[in-house]
């Protein structure tokens, strides 16, 4: 027998009591220790990173890194927004020059060509029989020009519903008008009075509400609206760029003041370079945009607006000429045409005849808008020729009202009076002189418009790239300046 430490006896060895935290094995030997109590779950990685960043930001090196990052972001944002806004304005100025401006001019030429064709064919009827070749050629040239410009407008009218609507109306009505004119001419060659009726009906299709001239005028207004929108976009002030420029400069000044207060050093070369580069971009932006706005405003007031007034004057001249011819074609029943002639001439030069255009008339406006002698001279010539036209028209109407139709026709298109005397100076000549003078004035204003608008676009040409490059330079310089300060803590 074996005696245990407690004094008890047993036939077997006594197994030790289990140790707390251990499990008993198969033969009483202790097994592997039990796993410790589970730890609390680790925080997400981003939270730990945020904690470390916050802790780092409480130190001066950490604060400097934050300052450098803020400077870089603000300066780069300034450069990017400046490049974007200036590029948009440069693109709008390009549209003024290359798209909406030419489309507006083409729309005006469509109107002028149609009105000239109507006046020309009416003048051909006064000859009687076969119209002169010059008249026929001019009419065909006008119709061809109008058709080509309508096709060109259709190819460039994707952005305007109103323009597409009016182009469709022109395309559908122009063939019908030319058919009526062809019928009228065929009857006139045979000496049939029905030709005059067909011609008056064709003129109604040209001038009525919703007719060819109405559609051409609405197309012109739509294209002018697009031109005005492009002008507004090109001249819009870049408020966002200016605001970011001021913020960037303010942030740089604050950072340098902070640097000075903590180190007692007046200059930090990197930050000073960044401040200089940012100042250059902001000053460049202000100066370039001011020059561009000035040039674009000049191109509008002494170019686009002048052309609009001159184009209105040219259409009044052409319609007045058509009214004058149709008054005689109507043979005693043309009072409505004569009344329309008087209205057109009043709008053109004012109600009083004379060598000076009445205040508010189209020619007076054109003279006031012309800022160069090259533009004023043809307008003054047109005013003088309108006065002469009115005088000759009065003589022509006097002859027609007294029953001397032959003399009246001779006063309009030339030829012999009923007395046998040959008329060498006619209203046709004064009409041509007025139209030619106005054409020269339009060409001069078109030249000034293009030059001023091109100058305006050119003022912005290098700014988008320059702003981007200088902003990157400023951001890099600011980071380097902060980096040199950080190196002092190593």
Tens digit of pLDDT for each residue in 330-367? 887 788 889 999 999 999 988 865 667 888 899 999 99
d(CA 230, CA 226): 6
From first CA to last CA, the distance across the chain in angstroms is: 79
* pLDDT at res. 4: 41
Burial of 26 (0-12, 13-18, 19+ CB in 10 A): exposed
pTM of this structure: 0.78
* pLDDT at res. 414: 80
Residue 316 has pLDDT above 80, yes or no: yes
* pLDDT at res. 56: 58
Tens digit of pLDDT for each residue in 108-117? 999 999 999 9
* pLDDT at res. 14: 47
Tokens 């028209």 appear where?
Answer: 393
Residue 450 has pLDDT above 80, yes or no: yes
Residue 174 has pLDDT above 90, yes or no: yes
Average pLDDT score over residue span 294-319: 92
* pLDDT at res. 5: 41
Residue 134: Cβ within 10 Å count = 10
Residue 129: Cβ within 10 Å count = 9
Residue 237 has pLDDT above 90, yes or no: yes
Average pLDDT score over residue span 74-87: 95
* pLDDT at res. 439: 93
* pLDDT at res. 331: 80
Which long-range CB contacts under 8 A does 350-353 form with residues at least 24 apart? 353/387, 353/390, 353/391
* pLDDT at res. 268: 80
**159 falls in which pLDDT band (50, 70, 90)?**
low
Alpha carbon 191 to its chain centroid, in Å, reads 52
* pLDDT at res. 78: 95
Average pLDDT score over residue span 9-37: 47
Please state, rounded to an integer, the average pLDDT across all residues of the chain: 85
* pLDDT at res. 485: 72
In percent, how much of the chain has pLDDT > 90?
Answer: 55
Residue 63: Cβ within 10 Å count = 14
**310 falls in which pLDDT band (50, 70, 90)?**
very high
* Distances, alpha carbon 96 to alpha carbons 80, 161, 177, in Å: 25, 19, 33
* pLDDT at res. 257: 86
Residue 220 has pLDDT above 50, yes or no: yes
Average pLDDT score over residue span 293-300: 94
Tens digit of pLDDT for each residue in 193-207? 888 889 889 999 999
d(CA 311, CA 389): 19
* Distances, alpha carbon 485 to alpha carbons 57, 262, 272, 475, 481, in Å: 15, 11, 14, 16, 7
Average pLDDT score over residue span 313-338: 88
d(CA 321, CA 447): 28
pLDDT greater at residue 13 or residue 184: 184
Burial of 45 (0-12, 13-18, 19+ CB in 10 A): exposed
* pLDDT at res. 276: 94
**6 falls in which pLDDT band (50, 70, 90)?**
very low
């Amino acid at each position: 027998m074996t005696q245990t430490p407690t004094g008890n006896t047993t036939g077997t060895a006594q197994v030790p009591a289990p140790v707390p935290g251990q499990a008993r094995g198969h033969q009483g030997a202790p097994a592997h220790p039990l796993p410790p109590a589970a730890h609390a779950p680790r925080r997400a990685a981003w939270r730990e990173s945020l904690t470390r960043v916050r802790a780092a930001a409480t130190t001066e090196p950490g604060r400097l890194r934050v300052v450098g990052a803020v400077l870089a972001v603000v300066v780069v944002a300034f450069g990017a927004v400046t490049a974007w806004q200036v590029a948009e304005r440069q693109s709008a100025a390009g549209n003024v020059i290359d798209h909406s401006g030419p489309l507006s001019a083409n729309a005006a030429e469509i109107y002028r060509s149609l009105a000239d064709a109507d006046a020309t064919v009416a003048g051909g009827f006064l000859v009687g029989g076969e119209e002169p070749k010059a008249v026929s050629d001019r009419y065909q040239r006008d119709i061809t020009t109008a058709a080509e410009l309508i096709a060109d407008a259709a190819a460039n009218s994707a952005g305007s519903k109103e323009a597409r609507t009016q182009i469709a109306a022109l395309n559908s009505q122009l063939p019908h008008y030319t058919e009526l004119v062809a019928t009228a001419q065929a009857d006139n060659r045979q000496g049939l009075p029905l030709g005059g009726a067909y011609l008056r009906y064709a003129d109604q299709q040209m001038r009525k509400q919703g007719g060819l001239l109405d559609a051409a005028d609405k197309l012109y207004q739509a294209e002018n609206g697009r031109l005005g929108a492009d002008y507004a976009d090109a001249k819009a002030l870049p408020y966002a760029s200016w605001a970011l420029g001021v913020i960037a400069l303010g942030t740089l000044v604050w950072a340098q003041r902070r640097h000075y207060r903590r180190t007692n050093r007046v200059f930090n070369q990197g930050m000073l370079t960044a401040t200089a580069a940012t100042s250059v971009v902001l000053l460049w932006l202000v100066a370039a945009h001011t020059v561009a706005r000035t040039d674009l405003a000049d191109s509008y007031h002494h170019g686009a607006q002048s052309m609009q007034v001159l184009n209105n004057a040219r259409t009044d001249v052409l319609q007045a000429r058509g009214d004058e011819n149709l008054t005689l074609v109507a043979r005693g029943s043309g009072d409505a045409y004569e009344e329309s002639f008087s209205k057109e001439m009043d709008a053109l030069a004012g109600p009083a005849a004379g060598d000076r255009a009445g205040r508010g008339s189209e020619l007076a406006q054109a003279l006031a808008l012309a800022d160069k002698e090259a533009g004023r001279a043809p307008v003054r010539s047109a005013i003088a020729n309108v006065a002469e036209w009115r005088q000759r028209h009065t003589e022509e109407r006097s002859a027609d009202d007294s029953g001397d139709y032959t003399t009246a026709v001779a006063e309009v298109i030339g030829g012999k009076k009923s007395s046998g005397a040959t008329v060498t100076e006619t209203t046709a000549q004064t009409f041509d002189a007025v139209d030619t003078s106005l054409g020269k004035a339009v060409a001069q204003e078109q030249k000034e418009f293009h030059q001023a608008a091109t100058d305006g676009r050119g003022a912005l040409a290098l700014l988008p790239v320059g702003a981007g490059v200088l902003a990157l330079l400023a951001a890099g310089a600011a980071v380097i300046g902060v980096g040199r300060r950080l190196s002092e803590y190593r």
